[in-house]
Amino acid sequence: MTGTDAVSIASLGDDGEAFRALARNWLKSHVVGEFAELRGRGGPGDEDVGFDVRVEWERLLGAAGWIGLGWPTEHGGQAATLAQQIIWAEEYTRAEAPARVNHMGENLLAPTLIEYGTPEQCARFLPGIRRGEVRWCQGYSEPNAGSDLANVQTKAVLDGDSWVVNGQKVWTSLAHVSHWCFVVARTEPGSQRHRGLTFLLVPMDQPGVEVRPIEQITGGGEFNETFFTDARTERSLTVGAPGEGWKVAMGLLGFERGISTLAQQVGFERELRTTIDLARDHGCNADPVVRQRLVGAYTGLQLMRWNALRSMSGKGVPGPEASISKLFWGTWHRDLGELMIDVIGPYGLIAEAFPYELTLEQKLFLFTRSDTIYGGSNEIQRNVLGERVLGLPKEPS
Ligand SMILES: Cc1cc2nc3c(=O)[nH]c(=O)nc-3n(C[C@H](O)[C@H](O)[C@H](O)COP(=O)(O)OP(=O)(O)OC[C@H]3O[C@@H](n4cnc5c(N)ncnc54)[C@H](O)[C@@H]3O)c2cc1C
C-alpha cells in the first residue's frame, strides 16, 4: 500500500477482526523511516519533538482516511462504529505511532461543528481537518476567566460582515502552530456571565493576532498567551446564534471531557506498562506498596475505559456526567506520573542533559500535574457533579 491509498472500511461491516487486521497492517507498513524514529514521542510535555515530521504523519493519516474515522459519511468520515474507533486507538498505541498534532481540530471542533455548525461551515472546515492540513486551537481561558469561564471579557463587535475581536486569551495550547482558533467572545455590550457570548472561528494568520509562548516546567512551551487587537473574522463564521455561544462552548467541553479521551487512555496503558518495566528494572516491583499502587493503577485504568465507553455509547452531546470521566482520568494520570518517578527512585532527580533536558519520565511527571487543571479543574468537575448530577445546593458565590 502506498502512502496515499485511502482505506475503506465500509465493506468490513461488523467484522472487528478484519478491521483490526486492516489497521494493524496499515500502521505496520507506514510507521517506518522518520515516523518510526518518533515512536512513542510527541505526547504530553513532549509536544515540541519532531513537530514537522508529525505534521507530515498527520497528512498521511488524512490521505489514508484515518482522520475523522467516526464522522458521518456526509461529512467525509467513514462512519466507523464505536468498536472500530476503539480498535483503531488500540492499534495506534500498540504501533507506538507518533503523537497527533490536531487533537483540538479533530476531536473537539469537528464534532462541535457537526452538532451546531451550518452546512457551509462543515463543508468549509471539516475537509482541512480530515486531510490533516489545518490545525486548530482553543481560545477559551483568559487571565480572569479560567474556571470562571463565564467571566470572558474578550469582545467582538460587528463591522459590516465582519466581527472585530479585541482581548486576551491565555494558556492557548499549540496556538503558535495553529491556523485557526475557536474563540468565545462577548458580543452583547453590558451582558453578564454566560449571556451575550458568541462562539467564533478566527483565523490566526493576520496582523491582529499575536501569540506569545509561555515556557512550561517541562522545558517546552506548548501553550501561549494570545492577543487579539482588532482581529477580524467573517460574520458567517459564528457557530450557533450570536449571544448563544455558551451553549456551543459547553457542548465542545462535553466532547473534551468525555468522548475524546479514549485514544488518550490507550496511551495511558502504555505508560503503565513502562512504569511496571521501570519498577522491575529498578528492583522495586516486589515492594508491597509499589505493587499495591501498580495494581491500583491497573484497576483504575479498566474503570476509566469502561466509563469512557459508557459516555461514548450515549447519543449526542455528552451531559454533565462527562465530568466523572475527566475527574477520574485527570487524577489517575497525575498519580501515575508520581508513581513513575517513585519507582525510578533517586535517579528520577537527575536530568537527561545540561541545562534543562528532562527525561521522558520526568516530563510526564511534571506535565501530568496539569491534567487536573486543563479542560476544567478537579474542583470544578466536583462542583458540576455536585450541583448538576446530585442536585446539591449551589456553591455560595
Ligand atoms: C496544560 C494546559 C493546557 C491548557 N490549554 C488550554 C487551551 O488550549 N485553551 C484554553 O482556553 N485554556 C487552556 N488551558 C487553561 C485551563 O482551562 C485553565 O487553566 C483552567 O480552566 C483553570 O483556570 P485558571 O488557570 O484560570 O485557574 P483558576 O480558575 O484561577 O483556578 C485556580 C484554582 O482555584 C480553584 N477554583 C477556581 N474556582 C473554583 C470554584 N468555584 N470552586 C472550587 N475551586 C475553584 C481551581 O480548581 C484551581 O485550583 C490549559 C491549561 C493547562 C494547564
User: Using one digit for the tens of pLDDT, what is the confidence trace for 251-261?
Assistant: 898 776 545 56
Residue 355 preceded by cis peptide, ω within 30: yes
- Joined together, the cell numbers standing for residue 4 give 496515499
Ligand 1 atom 43: residue of nearest CA = 379
Q: How far is the CA of 370 from the centre of ligand 1 (A)?
A: 9
Dump the DSSP string for 75-125: GT-----HHHHHHHHHHHHHTTPPPPS-HIIIIIIHHHHHHHS-HHHHHHH
Ligand 1 atom 23: residue of nearest CA = 146
- Joined together, the cell numbers standing for residue 213 give 509562548
Q: How far is the CA of 241 from the centre of ligand 1 (A)?
A: 26
Ligand 1 — pocket residues by CB below 6 A?
A: 137-141, 146-148, 171-173, 223, 370, 373-374, 376-377, 379-380, 383, 395
Determine what percent of the chain falls in helix, strand and coil, rounding each to the nearest 5. 50, 15, 35
- Joined together, the cell numbers standing for residue 108 give 473537539
pLDDT at 130: 97
Ligand 1 atom 13: residue of nearest CA = 171
Rounded to whole angstroms, the Cα distance separating 60 from 41 reads 17
Nearest Cα neighbor of 201 from 249, 262, 247, 153 is 249
pLDDT at 306: 83
Beta-carbon contacts of 43 under 8 Å, excluding residues fewer than 6 positions away, are 99, 267, 364
What residues of the chain score a pLDDT lower than 70?
A: 1-4, 256-263, 311-312, 314-318, 397
Which string of b and e fits 268-298 if b means at least 16 CB within 10 Å? bbebbebbbebbeebebeeeeebeebbeebe
pLDDT tens digit string along 150-177? 999 999 999 999 999 999 999 999 999 9
Nearest Cα neighbor of 205 from 227, 231, 185, 179 is 179
* Residue 172 parent element (H or E): none
pLDDT at 370: 95
pLDDT at 315: 60
pLDDT at 379: 96
Residue type, 320: P
Give bridge partners of residue 226 from the DSSP assignment: 169, 211
Q: Which of 172, 255, 377 to mutate to test the pocket of ligand 1 (most atoms within 8 A of CB)?
A: 377
Rounded to whole angstroms, the Cα distance separating 296 from 310 reads 21
Q: Where are the alpha helices (DSSP H) in the chain?
A: 16-30, 33-36, 51-63, 82-94, 103, 110-116, 119-130, 245-257, 261-281, 288-313, 322-344, 360-367, 378-384
Active site residue 256: yes
Ligand 1 atom 17: residue of nearest CA = 374
Ligand 1 atom 45: residue of nearest CA = 379
pLDDT tens digit string along 80-129? 988 888 889 889 988 999 999 999 999 999 999 999 999 999 999 999 99
pLDDT at 322: 76
Which string of b and e fits 130-142 if b means at least 16 CB within 10 Å? bbbbbbbbbbbbb
Rounded to whole angstroms, the Cα distance separating 107 from 120 reads 19
Q: How far is the CA of 140 from the centre of ligand 1 (A)?
A: 10
pLDDT at 261: 66
- Which atom of ligand 1 is nearest to 367's Cα? 1
pLDDT at 260: 56
Q: What pTM was computed for the model?
A: 0.92
Q: What angle do CA 144, 145, 147 make, to 5 degrees?
A: 120
Rounded to whole angstroms, the Cα distance separating 152 from 192 reads 9
Choice among 91, 244, 256, 271 that is catalytic? 256
Q: What angle do CA 267, 272, 349 make, to 5 degrees?
A: 110
Q: Which of 138, 147, 366 to mutate to test the pocket of ligand 1 (most atoms within 8 A of CB)?
A: 147
- Joined together, the cell numbers standing for residue 112 give 462541535
Q: How far is the CA of 363 from the centre of ligand 1 (A)?
A: 20
**Contact between residue 208 and residue 200 where contact means Cβ atoms under 8 Å apart:** no
Q: How far is the CA of 119 from the centre of ligand 1 (A)?
A: 33
